[in-house]
Amino acid sequence: MEHQQGYARPARIYHWVIAGLVLLMIPAGLIMIQQGLPRPVQDTLFIFHKNTGLIVFLLMLARLVWRLRHPPPPLPADIAPWQRRAAELTHLALYVLLIALPISGYLRVRLERFPIESLDALGVPPLVPKNEALAGVFQSVHQACAFLLIALLALHIAAALQHALIRRDGVWSRIWPL
């Protein structure tokens, strides 16, 4: 049974651009914290991760505004109530994490006075005073949120593949960019 009503083009673009950036940032984040990396490689990964995180944050804010003004299309009627609720909670958690991660990353970096090259180039000063102890707290928050995001993304991708390959109910095509 094919469910035809899909997300509007801006929602699809936000989804796939953010997904692509996040799927690049996860391995960069995991690699850059490894011991023994050559410093130039580690620095390049940090610069990529911080500046891409800023882009994800701005895109997520725009996506959130879009989503508040344009509710998602309804799921097919034969989706079980518990699956609807699970989808709603997973999407909510993904939104929260994709806002919390850039904020916690920003705070971790700026509390230690590390640069965020794109903001520095624009002349944006740090919005928080230096505090290395608090930076450590936000580093822990950032890492915990990152691992939770990885788990939720795995669940989200598994559910999407189940809809695309097993149920074939049109849920996948609602967000696919074509």
> What CATH code is carried by the domain that includes residue 136?
1.20.950.20
Domain membership flag for residue 96: yes
Domain membership flag for residue 147: yes
Domain membership flag for residue 2: no
Domain membership flag for residue 62: yes
- Supply the pTM of this predicted model: 0.93
pLDDT digits (tens, 9 = 90+) for 108-152: 999 999 999 999 999 999 999 999 999 999 999 999 999 999 999
Domain membership flag for residue 4: no
Domain membership flag for residue 3: no
Total number of domains in the chain: 1
Domain membership flag for residue 23: yes
pLDDT digits (tens, 9 = 90+) for 61-79: 999 999 999 999 999 999 9
The residue range of the domain holding 30 is 9-175
Residue 3, pLDDT above cutoff 90: no
Domain membership flag for residue 1: no
pLDDT digits (tens, 9 = 90+) for 147-167: 999 999 999 999 999 999 999
DSSP line for the chain? --------HHHHHHHHHHHHHHHHHHHHHHHHTSTT--HHHHHHHHHHHHHHHHHHHHHHHHHHHHHHHSPPPPPPTTS-HHHHHHHHHHHHHHHHHHHHHHHHHHHHHHHTT---HHHHHTTPPPSS---HHHHHHHHHHHHHHHHHHHHHHHHHHHHHHIIIIII--SHHHHHS--
